[in-house]
Structure 1
Amino acid sequence: MADILVPIILKHLIKLGEYEVNLLLGVRDQVDLLESDLQFIKAFLQKCARRRNDPIVIELVNQISDVALEIEDIVDAYAARVIRERRRNLLGKLFHCFGHAKVLHGVANKTTRIMNRVENICNNKEKYGIGEADQPSVDDEEAEQSSIERRRNVDEADVVGFEKDTTTLIYQLTNPENLQLDVITIHGMGGLGKSTLARKIYKDTDVLNHFECLAWVAVSQQWQAKTLLLDVLKSFKQISDETSKKVFEELKDELHEHLKGKKYLIVLDDIWSTQVWEELRVAFPDESKGSRILITTRVKDVARHASPTPPHDLKILDENESWILLRKVVFRGRECPPNLEELGKKIAKSCGGLPLSIVLLGGTLAAEKKSHQSWLRFVANVNLYLKQGITCLTLSYNHLPPELKACFLYLGLFPEVSEINVRDFIELWIAEGFIQSDRSTSIYDVAEDYLEKLIDRSMIQVATKRLDGGVKTCRIHDLLRDLCIAESRRDKFFDIYSIDNNVSLNRKSRRLSIQSGESLDFDLPPRARSLFFFDDFVYPISKSSWKQIYKSTKFIRVLYLSRLEIRKIPSQIEELIFLRCLFIKDCKVDNFSSSIWNFWYLETLHLNFYGMGSLPKGIWSVMKNLRYLYVVVPRRDLDLRNIPRRSLMGKPFWNLQVLSWLHVNKNTAHVIAKFPNLRKLGLSFREEIMEEGEVEKVMASIRRLESLRSFKIRKWSAGRMEVGTRLNSLPSTLTKISLTYCTHCTPFDWEIFKVLARQPYLRVLKLATNDKPWVGHPPHELRVVAGEFPRLQVLKLRNLRIKTWKMEKDAMPNLESLFIHDDIKIMLENLPEDELLCRSTLQLVEVIGGFEVQDKLKTMLTDFKIKHPATPCKINITERYLPPVF
């Protein structure tokens, strides 16, 4: 664990010095000594990484962990005292505490004693077998880089051994002769691939086209009947505040009414209790429409209880199937060298036919050098771990480099079966100090690289992807989550509190995830640096809980509140003087205190809430170190109108890279000019009328953003969007543009489309109206000429009232994916066949209608698939509800 702790604590010490030059005044020498010692320890830990099972190394690493935590505690205590003193008295800037300096010196002495032992081992490296061979070679690094580039992420389409299962289950789901509501179950042990098989079937085109309504619900061991019903309803309609407040019986009736007269498929993934089915079954009507319920479970009694039809039992893979799967994961379409085949088969066999273990071991092998010697050493390790009773999961975790271990363990903080937003936990990784980058590389690029490495090693599963192919949400297998929790509790990395968790909390844990709506009836770990609260609006967070937060845990750097009812955020929250990252996400907030802006070191601020509360004034005071600002407040967007004049006249704020959603007004041009390093910007236009010269100033300020990659505009007000034709002056660095009209009163300005067609590096374009188009708006002819959109890969159009589409041969030459979504009857009569559908670059055309896909277009696309069976283009035509897209 020390290999994770030391770099994080080292970065924290360095950051303290960067934030405030005078913060450690009087003890700078001691802190410099600690930094030097920690740098030495870090180098040592890297050197002996492959000797993690050596008892001497284990003992030393445990001692290093304890000393590192003690260093962090004492430095934070000293810094907190300086900051509080300075707040009380301006003369406190010269504050010097000899007692703290003495304590710091004592810790340095302890570290020095550890250093002597480290140095002794390093001087006797031959005796202990720690040498140059433990360092990764250039070839190893090149092999890993090659592995990352090939992205060995096995998805549902690559799964081995499910061919017969897939065919059988799809037939059971779509059998036209069986019109009664039928419950089909998939049973098997953890890691066999039940959810993977169900997901593959759920995404199958024949299944999508067979059912009118489809819903996927993850159940898990911690479940609530009301939440499950809401999850089903979310698949069919947008959930209003009124609906979310309904009791279970009312929701059951609403779902039953919605499904009446429809042919539906509901997937209930990972049911552990028969009670779940008993609670939900009455919500699903049986009207002889051929509807189906698909259940996955590890518990055979659940499968037998839910359906008289025998469960579909998944079997472990045989040796040949195991080898085929391992080969796919490791080589991703390439041939396995003959000298590795025998070793590969041994490794596959050692996994006992469990697909999860094979995929995880394959992910680890994919990052290893493809040599006989490297694989021979790996085979020996596999046998050793299996003999000791340690699972393949632990083996995969142990082979992670330290910087990836911390990122991987962190995912265990989230509730079971969560689909985790990638952008959220990347911000959390950065705030925790897990991401190490130099000035030449963006910290976001490094974080995404870490994510890709974990996916490549099959430690993280991709749940959904963005339009540009990047990962949008991810999930972690429940067995891997159990591993995260076990490793973290042992090493005091984090702990979890929930109603069903009877394990006593470790008072030394650095992070705590509270997954219970009840008030805190226990003391929070005083050493905690991160607190997570997850709930489903069962109980409002109490005053006593708030008091625990700002009294018991004074050194919090990360505070994450999700789906909570917050009556008031108290003024005492300013006691969290080290707070770097604050998430208030999907919460109901009645009152904010202005003290929320009294955070000196805040880097990430994500406020997305509803209720009676509104954002207090004074946000400008936290801009100094802010890197990420996302604020969606009730009935309005982020308004930076009242900016202190001295702030506008002062130096730019170089750190801010993400800003969403900024309300556009007469002050916007000055605000944007203060953030020259923005990478992502979201602007929201409402009712305010701006003069022509003011709009031009806004666009001129955006033009100067040389690092801007993603630009989003959201228009709420009626009338023509003044900014439309001025988009021709956007920076050429943009790769993604999203434009959404949030009112049906305004027709889409197609001049914007022509302007954006000239963007040289644009890869993703989203154009939408969020409401149904007003019937008074005339239909439009979409025309794309040669040379327009030279690098566009993804085009998404929604509710734009397009009647005809004309396209020249060399227009959009790199288009890969086309999405046409509508909530009403689609007006589009055809798509250019030779100019668009037959081109080799196009991989996917997806047409979705809320109520009815136009027969002419549907017939044309169906006929095209029949006429061109060899085309690489995949065509999906679906009739189902679509939630709003911003």
Structure 2
Amino acid sequence: MVLSTGLMGCYVTPMPIPENQASKVSAVEVFCGFLCPESSQVGTLNQGLKNLLQFVLAAYFLKKSYTVRLVLVDTVAAMVELGSLLYDEPWITRETDSALHKLLQKNMLLVLEAILTNFDLPESESIPLKQCHFNFIESGLIFFLNFLGNESVNSEPLWKYIIHIFSLTKSSSNDVRNSSVPLFRQHILTIRILKMEIKLKELLYRSQSLLPTVRKQMQTLHKEVLLVTTFLAAIQGGNRTLEGSVLEDVYSGFVSFNWNEISEHTLRSFSLELFVFLKKIMLACEEKKGMYLRDRSSLLSPNFSKTPEFGFMDFLLRDLQELLNSEHVKFPLQIQVIHGHIDFFRSFLNDVGNKHYDFDHSDLKGLVLRILQVALQVEYISDSLLQNPDVAWYLFPWLSSLIEDTKLIKVQISEISNELHGIRFDDFLQSTNNVMPPSKISEIDEVVINRVDDECELIAKLTRGSKQLDIASIVGMAGIGKTTLARKIYYSYSVSLHFHTRAWCHVSQLYHKRKLLIEILGDVMEITNSILEMRDDELELKLYQCLKGKRYLIIIDDLWSTDAWNDLQHSFPNDGNESRILITSRLHDVVPKIQEDSIHHLPLLTDAESWELLNMKLFKEEACPEDLLDPGKKIASSCDGLPLTVVTISGLLQGIEKTSDWCKQVGESLSSLIADSEESRCMDKLRLSYNHLPNHLKLCFLYLGAFFGYKEIPVRKLIRLWVAEGLVQHAGERSAEDVAEELLTGLIGRSLVMASKRRSDRGIKTCCLHDMVLILCSRICEEESYLEQVTWRDEVFSGFSEDLDYGVHPNHSHLTDPVTYSKRRPSIYSRRNHFVMSRPSGPHVHSLLYFATSDSRPECPHDISLIPGNFKRLRVLDLECINLGHTFPEWVEDLVRLRYLALSGNINSIPNSIAKLRNLQTLVLVGLIGRVLLPDTIWSMVKLQYLHVRNGAFFSFQGTQMENPPQLPELVSLSSPLLYGVQDAEKILIRLPKLRRLTCIFSDSRDVDTGDRLQFPVLSFLKDLKSLKITYSGRNFHPRKFDFPWTLTKLTLSKFRLPWDCISEIGKLPNIEVLKLLAGAFDGEVWDMKDGEFQKLRYLKLDNLNVVHWNASEDNLPKFNT
């Protein structure tokens, strides 16, 4: 801590005593020696007390002001109190240390009160203080601060205040003092309020025998004193003066009160006097009301989200509780009241949601939006208080106003609740189930209509005709089935036999040339690190070389412009061997410029075909009931031949009781949705499916709009973001991850989302939205102000040169003004340098998602230290696409509200300060240059659920010898730590009791003499572990035994070089369903599988092994998917 001038340094030489005080020196030393013996544990306080007492005596015996002398007497009494504490407790404990800390503060406050009171007196009555008097005080203060230590002093605002006041009084000349008298009076008021607060704390601590009602009243009085302190600080901050007569009366009553005879009545009387003073202060602060009105207006601007989103209220309740538990909480009574009201609102909204009432009903929606507006304001206040308690004074009238609003809302809830019990079912109640069962998940190609004629015609174009490279195209409106037909052709038996190699790439509107090249290469060869490091022109050449001499088929799906074709066509050799390219596009004008005579226009379905598709989707292999045939065909006919509409409507009808009356109503409503243009007809019908979603699924669906530039959305990342945003609510013992997967299943079951790729354990790896569904999602996000989609084509980046990838152009180093995002969630797709140069900001942004587009030098580091200053309320920060340089950014620690953090850089360690992010749930770090050292403080981040460090991490081992080392009790997913030997592995993993997924690198023990490098790590204590991926890095490995938990369902082993007879241990695991043996996991040419092994195995992958013979009977692998 840096002290003001005159208070720097450590121990000082005792100041000389004035001659007229010399006779009292021996008495001072004896007295202070009695209070604080130099030989005791707190002997270093002795000199500080001597210096302080010398000032008291010097001032007291000048016999001037009676008022000042009374304060000085109180100071001596406080010193005696200090000595009494040290006499009763000669050894410092945690409790003693806290009491000692407070008594030293009390002593200094009393001395400063005496000085300030003296300055406020007429010159004839005041004590003529000299420099030596201030030297005594300064010496005493320095001794106290040295005794307490910098860390203790820095964490206590009251010490900073004491230092400030002393510096102010010491540096003031006589002339300045006269002009500063009003300010000195203000500080006198503050000190007296602080003294009342200290006194009440002491009484609360000591008066355990009080009646509960009296004790409760005293607690209330203490909170009111705290509130007065808050407002006094506000007035001083504005250099205002305040008439102190009311406080003088209150203070006189307080000090004259007989605290030995406390009753509920007398406490209430005193509290009333205090309330009068508080009202007066609030009037003085009235002119500051504009500050909170301005903030409220900004918060509730037209960009306020209109979607009923209340998952954040659970986090808000935790924040309010954190404030209430804080030692320095401001106006706790009001926070307690608002906490109760928010808790009530959350219960009401949960109840409404569980009964599936329609949140779009006008009355209910209006009420819900009023609740959300109040909750958002309370969240803003809570954030402000947690980040900076000094702003509390102007937030109090705002919070008081909100309390009145919540009382009115509770009355409205009571009224509408009575109505909800008597309204018609079809007015408020939704008809759909919340979540579809897993068996109803619709894959992209699960059920499709057979377009036999179209399929045969296109296959003929691709497999017959000219020897030269030829191009065929499928053109049609969105949702007509172009991609589905192309997939059927791509996987058809005749096509797979005809072509040597096939590849598929999806273009879309936001295409990236580099990604397209890598996507095609990935289908014709293995993608290695050297491929990923190639420049774009090298990738083009590599693709050309891979296709050269081969008869190939390339599918280019969803082409939106000729630019993408121009970027790719030079990579396709024409060797006269009947190679073909098939393009799908909804834009007819794009295709003729490529090959006019090969365009295949895909027609709409006939009514019969639409009914056939709807029938298959709804009833699978079962027959449609007779009474549903006519209404079902009517519904199919109203879909106007668009397969997407048929599939979407089938999702709407899933899970709903299918009666003829209900189907007739649906058919009639669909007919009324038919509009003029083809696109609007489809959009209206897609919106119908959205409108029938439960509210929690609507929010999850809209969040997919943040990935509008993604061809395929990584599901695990999506789930982590859903959890951080409060969109996933825990249900009993089930994890948030399980609930989130069920929510995604519900969206897939309604055909709004498609499962594009699956993991080996049959879970969904990536998902996607059909283009028309994505357009719908984007429109609703804009209408509801749910999130803000920003691309490099938008106006905010129009001032940047297209070819400016790296560095700053001298003619426009920055925009004139920073780019300010007004919505709660901006999702930004741009070049990295453009994003940084735009100096983004957002005072009300809670989630900042950034996705980089193609740059020529993506590896270049960028300085984005402006983030914490420009985005002070972030909960979610995803900057995984930007290299932040060689050190972990210090500014991250300022974003204490973060729940999700993803960063990237040439970083080799994370600092201890990461633990300040005490709310963090997800930490993703992409280390670009190697493994990353995790700090020991990571173990204090008890809310952490996902810890992913790409390219490897290793733990600090400080504190691992503790008897009960700290744990990460909520961590469910960890990758990729480096574990050295059995002992290190156990030290780390034993502290992760809920771990479900582990990806790690296991290496030789650091101490090879122990011999434990020959053992496999013990993992059986991980009772929740489901998935394990472990790679070995070290010398020859010959384990004595495996020790896996029986809960394991997925296992991946690499580079162990184990003998095949060890695999029987794995085969005995009762729940193993997925086994991947990669890169020399086992060594040997013969694998003999024994009876009874791998009874639940469904998926087996063998890669880069030297096995030649695999001996198994027909009874092995009964569940295996062939």
Question: What's the TM-score bracket when you normalise by the shorter of the two chains?
Answer: 0.7 to 0.9
Closer/same/farther in 2, CA of residues 644 and 301 from structure 1, 3 Å limit: same
Q: Secondary structure of the residue that 2:556 maps to in structure 1?
A: strand
1:811 equivalent in alignment to 2:1116: yes
Match of 1:351 among 639, 643, 660: 639
Which letter does structure 2 place at the counterpart of 1:559?
L
Number of the residue aligned with 1:185 = 473
Number of the residue aligned with 1:737 = 1051
Which letter does structure 1 place at the counterpart of 2:942?
K
Q: Distance in 1 between matches of 2:863 and 2:424?
A: 49
Which letter does structure 2 place at the counterpart of 1:573?
V
Q: Secondary structure of the residue that 1:796 maps to in structure 2?
A: strand
Number of the residue aligned with 2:414 = 119
Number of the residue aligned with 1:337 = 625
Which letter does structure 2 place at the counterpart of 1:67?
V
Match of 1:49 among 336, 353, 357: 357
Match of 1:366 among 638, 654, 672: 654
Which letter does structure 1 place at the counterpart of 2:310?
P
Larger Rg: 2
Q: Distance in 2 between matches of 1:451 and 1:48?
A: 18
Q: Distance in 2 between matches of 1:541 and 1:75?
A: 39
Number of the residue aligned with 2:742 = 449
Q: Secondary structure of the residue that 1:639 maps to in structure 2?
A: strand
Q: Secondary structure of the residue that 1:307 maps to in structure 2?
A: helix
Which letter does structure 2 place at the counterpart of 1:708?
L
Number of the residue aligned with 1:516 = 830
User: TM-score, normalised on structure 2?
Assistant: 0.65
Q: Distance in 2 between matches of 1:502 and 1:119?
A: 47
1:680 equivalent in alignment to 2:997: yes
Which letter does structure 2 place at the counterpart of 1:333?
E
Number of the residue aligned with 1:576 = 895
Match of 2:1030 among 706, 713, 732: 713
1:201 equivalent in alignment to 2:489: yes
CA contact (8 A) 1:567 1:591 kept: no
CA contact (8 A) 1:593 1:616 kept: yes
Q: Secondary structure of the residue that 1:514 maps to in structure 2?
A: strand
Closer/same/farther in 2, CA of residues 516 and 698 from structure 1, 3 Å limit: same
Number of the residue aligned with 1:71 = 378
Number of the residue aligned with 1:824 = none
Q: Distance in 2 between matches of 1:312 and 1:135?
A: 46
Which letter does structure 2 place at the counterpart of 1:407?
C
Number of the residue aligned with 1:865 = none
1:104 equivalent in alignment to 2:399: yes
Q: Distance in 1 between matches of 2:580 and 2:999?
A: 42
Which letter does structure 2 place at the counterpart of 1:781?
V
1:470 equivalent in alignment to 2:763: yes
Q: Distance in 1 between matches of 2:447 and 2:560?
A: 28
Question: Relative to structure 2, which stretch is displaced further, 682-691 or 268-277?
Answer: 682-691
Match of 1:320 among 579, 604, 608: 608
Q: Distance in 2 between matches of 1:240 and 1:762?
A: 30
Q: Alpha-carbon deviation of 1:208?
A: 3.6
Q: Secondary structure of the residue that 1:249 maps to in structure 2?
A: helix
Q: Alpha-carbon deviation of 1:306?
A: 1.6
Number of the residue aligned with 2:986 = 669
Closer/same/farther in 2, CA of residues 251 and 401 from structure 1, 3 Å limit: same
Q: Alpha-carbon deviation of 1:184?
A: 1.5
Q: Alpha-carbon deviation of 1:516?
A: 0.3
Match of 2:878 among 545, 549, 560: 560
Q: Alpha-carbon deviation of 1:266?
A: 1.8
Closer/same/farther in 2, CA of residues 445 and 641 from structure 1, 3 Å limit: same
Which letter does structure 2 place at the counterpart of 1:572?
W
Number of the residue aligned with 1:148 = 437
Q: Secondary structure of the residue that 1:473 maps to in structure 2?
A: strand
CA contact (8 A) 1:563 1:588 kept: no
Q: Distance in 1 between matches of 2:341 and 2:359?
A: 27
Closer/same/farther in 2, CA of residues 58 and 32 from structure 1, 3 Å limit: closer
Q: Distance in 1 between matches of 2:644 and 2:672?
A: 19
Match of 2:948 among 626, 630, 637: 630
Question: Relative to structure 2, which stretch is displaced further, 452-461 or 347-356?
Answer: 347-356
Q: Distance in 1 between matches of 2:313 and 2:859?
A: 34
Q: Distance in 2 between matches of 1:33 and 1:696?
A: 60
Number of the residue aligned with 2:906 = 589
Q: Alpha-carbon deviation of 1:671?
A: 0.9
Q: Secondary structure of the residue that 1:186 maps to in structure 2?
A: strand
RMSD of aligned C-alpha atoms? Answer: 3.3
Q: Alpha-carbon deviation of 1:317?
A: 0.9
Number of the residue aligned with 2:314 = 11
Would you say how many aligned residue pairs link Structure 1 and Structure 2? 779
Number of the residue aligned with 2:220 = none
Q: Distance in 2 between matches of 1:48 and 1:309?
A: 54
Match of 1:496 among 783, 789, 794: 789
Number of the residue aligned with 1:825 = none
Q: Secondary structure of the residue that 2:896 maps to in structure 1?
A: coil
Q: Secondary structure of the residue that 1:600 maps to in structure 2?
A: coil
Q: Alpha-carbon deviation of 1:580?
A: 0.9
CA contact (8 A) 1:161 1:317 kept: no
Question: Relative to structure 2, which stretch is displaced further, 61-70 or 408-417?
Answer: 61-70
Q: Distance in 1 between matches of 2:820 and 2:695?
A: 23
Closer/same/farther in 2, CA of residues 233 and 709 from structure 1, 3 Å limit: same
Q: Alpha-carbon deviation of 1:613?
A: 8.3
Alignment of 1:685-700 (within 5 A): 685-686=1002-1003, 688=1005, 690=1008, 694=1012, 699-700=1017-1018
Question: Relative to structure 2, which stretch is displaced further, 434-443 or 369-378?
Answer: 369-378
- Provide structure 2 residue ranges, at least 5 long, that are not aligned to the other structure: 1-303, 798-818
1:755 equivalent in alignment to 2:1071: no
Q: Distance in 1 between matches of 2:869 and 2:413?
A: 38
Deviations 1:653-710 (A, max 9, x none): 321111222211142211111111111122312355656774699744x111211111
CA contact (8 A) 2:652 2:750 kept: yes
Q: Secondary structure of the residue that 2:1041 maps to in structure 1?
A: helix
Number of the residue aligned with 1:656 = 971
Q: Distance in 1 between matches of 2:399 and 2:454?
A: 64
Deviations 1:160-209 (A, max 9, x none): 1433222332333333x643211111111111121222223223344344
Q: Secondary structure of the residue that 2:925 maps to in structure 1?
A: strand
1:305 equivalent in alignment to 2:579: no
Q: Alpha-carbon deviation of 1:157?
A: 4.8
Q: Distance in 1 between matches of 2:1099 and 2:619?
A: 28
Q: Distance in 2 between matches of 1:537 and 1:615?
A: 30
Q: Alpha-carbon deviation of 1:430?
A: 1.0
Question: Relative to structure 2, which stretch is displaced further, 711-720 or 592-601?
Answer: 592-601
Match of 1:790 among 1071, 1095, 1114: 1095
Q: Alpha-carbon deviation of 1:334?
A: 2.8
Deviations 1:598-655 (A, max 9, x none): 311111122234247844644625532111112123xxx2211433347773353321
Q: Distance in 1 between matches of 2:396 and 2:509?
A: 50
Number of the residue aligned with 2:569 = 281
Which letter does structure 2 place at the counterpart of 1:257?
Q
Closer/same/farther in 2, CA of residues 801 and 494 from structure 1, 3 Å limit: same
Q: Distance in 1 between matches of 2:986 and 2:930?
A: 30
Kindly indicate which of the two structures has a greater share of residues assigned to strand: 1
- Provide structure 1 residue ranges, at least 5 long, that are not aligned to the other structure: 86-95, 817-843, 845-886
Which letter does structure 1 place at the counterpart of 2:409?
I
Alignment of 1:600-611 (within 5 A): 600-611=918-929
Q: Distance in 1 between matches of 2:782 and 2:688?
A: 18
Identity score, percent: 30
Q: Alpha-carbon deviation of 1:297?
A: 1.0
Q: Secondary structure of the residue that 2:597 maps to in structure 1?
A: coil
Number of the residue aligned with 1:230 = 518
Q: Secondary structure of the residue that 1:153 maps to in structure 2?
A: coil
Q: Distance in 2 between matches of 1:623 and 1:349?
A: 57
Deviations 1:421-443 (A, max 9, x none): 11111111111111112332122
Q: Distance in 1 between matches of 2:973 and 2:641?
A: 45
Q: Alpha-carbon deviation of 1:577?
A: 0.8
